[in-house]
Amino acid sequence: MSTRTRGTLLDKYDIKRAHKALYAPSSADFTLVDVPELHYLAIDGHGDPNTAPAYADAIEALYGVSYTLKFESKNALGRDFVVGPLEALWRAADMTAFTSRDKDSWAWTAMIVQPDWITAEMVAAATAKLKSKKPLAAIDELRLLTLNEGLSVQILHIGSYDDEAPTLDRLHHEYLPANGLDFNGDHHEIYISDARRTEPAKLKTVLRQPVRRR
């Protein structure tokens, strides 16, 4: 069964199963993957995610609309799905800001992947429905984003977010040069674990970097 036909009442669509290679990579070493076009609810922001209120506001809006879409899809279309994990794109004027953990200089796009049958019209309707029920600070900033990252390097990081720096340093200064690869997009993180319920040492995060061959 193709990923386009999944999501019926007989088979609840789950992005982590449909694209297992993208959401469950090895933690032992970097791997190359070809990431297909995927669609996300997204909100842009800037600053330290641990202290910037905008980041928490973005997450609340993203999950609120995602769950509204899930229920509307199930009820109206008979197509249910598992709400995907939180993901984020990270960028900075100086890429060393990631390895030095200079979080105040980071810009981000917080996002949650959506099944490919979710349309812009469905997102607009779900957003309007949620807004009528409760005020959400970031909901008017929400947009539907299409990403086609293509060739990418990724690894599963196990541990605290602040312990990512050595892995990223190895990626940037060893793996990419040794394999003739250059950056080709924003640093991408997928938060497999729920940080509210998982101790830092056991957090699982996919670290992904779109690349191009030299």
Cβ contact 181:153 at 8 Å: yes
What local confidence, expressed as pLDDT, does residue 67 receive?
Answer: 98
Q: Model's pTM, two decimal places?
A: 0.91
pLDDT in tens, 57-91: 999 999 999 999 999 999 999 999 999 999 999 99
Read off the pLDDT band of 6 (50, 70, 90).
Answer: very low
Read off the pLDDT band of 98 (50, 70, 90).
Answer: low
Pick from 93-102, 137-146, 159-168, 183-192: least confident: 93-102
Q: Which two tokens stand for residue 5?
A: 């036909």
Mean pLDDT computed over 96-106:
70
What local confidence, expressed as pLDDT, does residue 97 receive?
Answer: 60
Distances (CA, A) of 26 to 74, 98, 172: 33, 22, 18
Q: Which domains does the chain have, with CATH numbers?
A: 36-213 (3.20.80.10)
CA 82 distance to own-chain centroid: 14
Read off the pLDDT band of 93 (50, 70, 90).
Answer: confident
What local confidence, expressed as pLDDT, does residue 47 receive?
Answer: 87
- For residue 172, the SS3 value is helix
